[in-house]
Structures are given as structure tokens and as C-alpha cells.
Amino acid sequence: MPLILDGNRVRDDIQSELKPRVEALAALGAPPGLAVVLVGNNPASEIYVRNKIKACHNLGIYSESITPPGSISTEELIAIVGGLNARPDIDGILVQLPLPPQVDSKRILLGVAPAKDVDGFHPCNMGNLVAGLPGPRACTPAGILELLKRYRIPIAGKRAVVVGRSDIVGKPVAMLLLHEHATVTICHSKTADLSAVCREADILVAAMGRPAMITGEYIRPGATVIDVGTNRLDKREDVARIFRNSVEKLASYDKRGSVLVGDVHPLDVVEKSSAYTPVPGGVGPLTIAMLMANTVASAERRAGIC
């Protein structure tokens, strides 16, 4: 049986390590502070933000959510971000995406002070990542590296294939793997013979948003497979097909009306890989843990203790 890379366990370890650092900052009178800006009423975003605020609360990080209406203009949102940039009690600013169509998302992300950009999305921090300079790293990619390192999966000298080239997952995770001395290939929707390229991977990272697309024929036997995808199946026939009529999954669908699946086929990965991240419970929990880590590191820089 392959090793299951347990994101919940690693998240708990990361959070236990952060706790004394938060306490030390609080003892100096400079507790870390995170501001989350949530525009409008997107139910999925509301859940993400609630989980981030809850994680702050559990760790003793001060948090604040700012909830402007969905009709807000770019200028008004830039003014809110500017106000947070200027506040000494706020170490991290997170603008929850997606933003409404009338708001220029790129201008908003550029408006966040790079030192407070705990999402690691600002071009300055993307540049720091490419150059190997210190600065907040995008949370999901940073979480994937934590997972690989804590499970002692060798990276140096290995072939890594990343499927997906988004700014928030594919590109930064490829760069982090490169810095760890993997030989990295980045794939996307125009990659020719994708399954053959994926089969070269010792470490395969799937981040496309395509339910269970990475089937057994994409996986080299013994590879480590990291599944970033989070897809909700809301048709019973899809659940039956992908999970091959699993009684447990169909019962879960019947109860909840949907079932989560990653970008990797959940049964094939068990047959082919030597280690893999399950969905849920793999990469997902690490994203918030790394957001907390970035916020604490930002507060430590402000307090001059790192």
C-alpha cells in the first residue's frame, strides 16, 4: 500500500510549532494580525474566510474581516487595502478571490504592501520566489513543499512534472521544486502527449481543476503524486463512474448531494503510486497552515526578531 501523505497531521504539526512563536510576539506586545477582505456574498469564499479566521483564533493571531458590498469599485477597494497597509497592528492582508467583475483584481493585488502580502501573489514576491530571495511564498505551493519535506520524499535530482501553470499553484510550485534541485517540467492544456510526460515523473503534481483526469496511465509506478485539485461532483453517475460504484461514496453523495474528488483518479493512484495526497485531507489543510506561517513570519519581521 502506498504512503498516504496526511495533510491534517502536517497542518497540526505546523500549527503546534507556530503557537510558541505567536506567544513570544504577544509577550512583546506585538501579536500577529491578519486582515481578510471578503467582497460581496460568495458562499464558497465565505467558507474559506471563516476557516482562515477560525485558524487565527485557534493560534491566538488577531484577525479582522472586512466585508465590503459586491458593488464596490476598484478605487474604493484600493482605499481599504491602503488603510490596512498603514496599520501597524496588521501584518498580513488577504484579499479573497475571486473579486466581482467590475473590480480590477490585478490593481488590487498590486495595492497590497509586499511585506504584508501573506498570499505571496504580489509581483514583488513572485520575483523574490524566482530569484530565491526571502519573502512570503504562495500558501498552497509552500504547503506542498512542507508536506514533501516532512515526509522526507527526496526531491533533489528527481524528475518533477507539474500539470497546471496558474500563478497561484502551478508556476510557484514548479519554482519551489526547482529550488530544491528537482528537474521540473510544467504542463498545461496545450501539452502534447500529456500522459507520456507525466509518466516521466518521480513527483507528479496535478493542479488543473479537472476531476480525476490523472488516471493510472499518467502515473509512473512508484511515483509520489500530489493532488491539488478540489472538484465537487454533483451528479450521481459521475460519482458511480469515478469511484467504481463505491457503496461508501454513493451513500455520501446521497446524504450530501455532492462528493469531493481531486484531479487524480482516487483509485488508480492507490494502485500506481508509492505516496500520494488524498482528497480531502491532503494538500487542502496545508494552505491555511502556510497562511498562518506567513502571517507569523511577517509579524516577526515587524518586531525585528527574525
> Contact with ligand NAP (CB under 6 A): which of 54, 188, 232, 244?
188
Q: Does 187 bind ligand NAP (CB under 6 A)?
A: yes
Are 65 and 84 in contact, with CB atoms under 8 Å apart?
A: no
What's the burial of 239, exposed, middle or buried (CB within 10 Å: 0-12/13-18/19+)?
A: buried
Question: Is 149 among the catalytic positions?
Answer: no
DSSP tag of 218: G
DSSP state string for 164-197: ---TTTHHHHHHHHHHTT-EEEEE-TT-TTHHHH
By C-beta, is 85 or 191 nearer to ligand NAP? Answer: 191
> Contact with ligand NAP (CB under 6 A): which of 15, 96, 224, 231?
231
Question: Is 52 among the catalytic positions?
Answer: yes
Spatial strand order in the sheet of 203-206 = 3-4, 275-276, 224-227, 203-206, 159-163, 183-187
Please, what is the minimum distance in Å from the beta carbon of residue 305 to ligand NAP?
Answer: 29
Question: Is 19 among the catalytic positions?
Answer: no
Binding range to ligand NAP, per CB under 6 A, among 111-119, 152-160, 183-191, 289-297: 183-191
Q: Closest Cα to residue 292, out of 39, 54, 47, 29?
A: 54
Q: Is the dihedral of CA 93, 96, 98, 100 positive or negative?
A: negative
Catalytically annotated residue among 15, 52, 227, 263: 52
Alpha helices in 199-257 (DSSP H): 236-242, 247-256
Q: Does 278 bind ligand NAP (CB under 6 A)?
A: no
By C-beta, is 80 or 144 nearer to ligand NAP? Answer: 144
> Nearest to ligand NAP by Cβ — which residue?
166
- Please list every residue from 285 through 304 that binds ligand NAP, using CB under 6 A: 287
Torsion angle defined by CA atoms of residues 123, 126, 127 and 130, in that order, rounded to the nearest 10 degrees: -160
Q: Closest Cα to residue 287, out of 132, 136, 141, 111?
A: 141
Please, what is the minimum distance in Å from the beta carbon of residue 246 to ligand NAP?
Answer: 21
Q: Does 283 bind ligand NAP (CB under 6 A)?
A: yes
Q: How far is CA 179 from the centre of its chain?
A: 18
Catalytically annotated residue among 96, 116, 227, 249: 96
> Contact with ligand NAP (CB under 6 A): which of 169, 184, 275, 296?
169
Q: Does 284 bind ligand NAP (CB under 6 A)?
A: yes
> Contact with ligand NAP (CB under 6 A): which of 20, 86, 190, 245?
190
Residue 229 and residue 265: Cα distance in Å, rounded?
11
Footprint of ligand NAP (CB under 6 A): 140, 163-166, 168-170, 187-191, 194, 207-210, 228-231, 283-284, 287
Q: Which residues are catalytic?
A: 52, 96, 119
